[in-house]
Amino acid sequence: MLPNFLVPEAVVREDGEGPETGLGSSCGKLLLLTLGITRILEQESLDVSIWGSPDNASWGDKPLASFPQKFYCGTYQLLVDLAGRPDVQYLRARYKVNRWGHGEPKPLFGIYLFAEETAPRAVAKTA
């Protein structure tokens, strides 16, 4: 059920995924995802993708959405419109971490990912 954390706040040092989250009444709705990066080392990157499933078993070959690759602390938002995907009943976040350069060879990130239903925003029409 939303609102909920797709990735609870944690320190991650390797690739992973968050728990499966049932959408409940948020199926087919517009979702606002908020990615927070609270800790990071230099010379590393984070890739976060959102996956959908109709049955909590089959997650498909492609993600529903992905954040652009991140390199810095901050709060980032992404809208995911599930109106065209009424079959999606569950969400799961997957993340990949990468580190290069000198120093500690293992990546280090403090992250969280929060999902909530949002109302469609009005779009101005031009003549």
Domain locations in the chain as residue ranges: 4-108
| pTM (two decimals) | 0.90
Tens digit of pLDDT for each residue in 32-52?
999 999 999 899 999 999 999
Fold of 4-108: Jelly Rolls (2.60.120)
86 contacts 124 by C-beta, under 8 angstroms: no
Q: Does the structure show a pLDDT above 60 at 122?
A: no
Torsion, Cα of 19, 6, 118, 87 (10° steps)? -30
Tens digit of pLDDT for each residue in 71-95?
999 999 999 999 999 999 999 999 9
